Amino acid sequence: MNKSILILFILCLGVRLSAQEEWSVSECIHYALEHHPNIGIQKESVVINKQNYLEAIGNLLPSINTQVGAGLSFGNSRDYTTQAMTTNNTFSNQYQITASLMLFDGLSSINRLKMARVNTAKSRNQFQNIKDMLSYEVVEAYLNVAYFDETISLAQKQVATSIANQKKLERMEELGMVSIVEITEAKAKLAEDKYFLTQQENLKKIAVILLKEKLNYPLDKDLYIKGVNGLYTVNITLESASDIFAEAIQYLPQALIAQNSVDAEKMAFRSAKGSWYPRISMNLGSNTNYFKYLNKTVESDSKWSYSDQLKDNRGEFIQFNFSFPIFTGFSRTTNLRRAKANFAIARYEQENTFSKIYRDIEQTIADVNGQVDDYHQALEQEEAMLAAHQANVKKHQEGLIDPIQLSISANRLLQAQVASMKSYHTYVLKLKLYQYYKGIPYTEQN
Query: Do residue 297 and residue 237 come from a single domain?
Result: no
pLDDT of 155-194, one tens digit each? 999 999 889 888 887 787 777 777 787 788 888 889 999 9
Residue of 177 and 342 predicted with greater confidence: 342
Strand-pair partners of 74? 89
The SS3 call for residue 97 is strand
Looking up residue 169, the CATH number of its domain turns out to be: 1.20.1600.10
Q: Half-sphere exposure of residue 78, counting CA atoms within 13 Å on the CB side?
A: 3
| Total domain count, the chain | 2
Burial 271-295 (b: 16+ CB within 10 A, else e): bbbbbeeebeeeeebeebebebeee
Residue 266: pLDDT band with limits 50, 70, 90: very high
> What one-character DSSP code corresponds to residue 221?
S
Residue 17 has pLDDT above 60, yes or no: no
What counts of helices (H) and strands (E) characterise the chain?
A: 11, 6
Could you list the residue range(s) of the whole structural domain that residue 392 is in?
A: 21-61+105-278+329-444
Query: Do residue 54 and residue 36 come from a single domain?
Result: yes
Residue 8: pLDDT band with limits 50, 70, 90: very low
173 burial via Cβ count (<10 Å: 0-12, 13-18, 19+): middle
Residue 116: pLDDT band with limits 50, 70, 90: very high
Query: Do residue 88 and residue 193 come from a single domain?
Result: no
Query: Do residue 418 and residue 338 come from a single domain?
Result: yes
Residue 151 has pLDDT above 80, yes or no: yes
Sequence letter at residue 266: K
Query: Do residue 338 and residue 220 come from a single domain?
Result: yes
pLDDT of 382-436, one tens digit each? 899 989 888 888 887 777 877 778 888 888 999 999 999 999 999 999 999 999 9
Least confident of 9-13, 45-49, 74-78, 317-321: 9-13
CA distance 231 to 234: 10
CA distance 434 to 353: 18
The SS3 call for residue 16 is helix
Query: Do residue 288 and residue 366 come from a single domain?
Result: no
Note the pTM of the prediction, 2 decimals. 0.83
Classify residue 11: in a domain, yes or no.
Answer: no
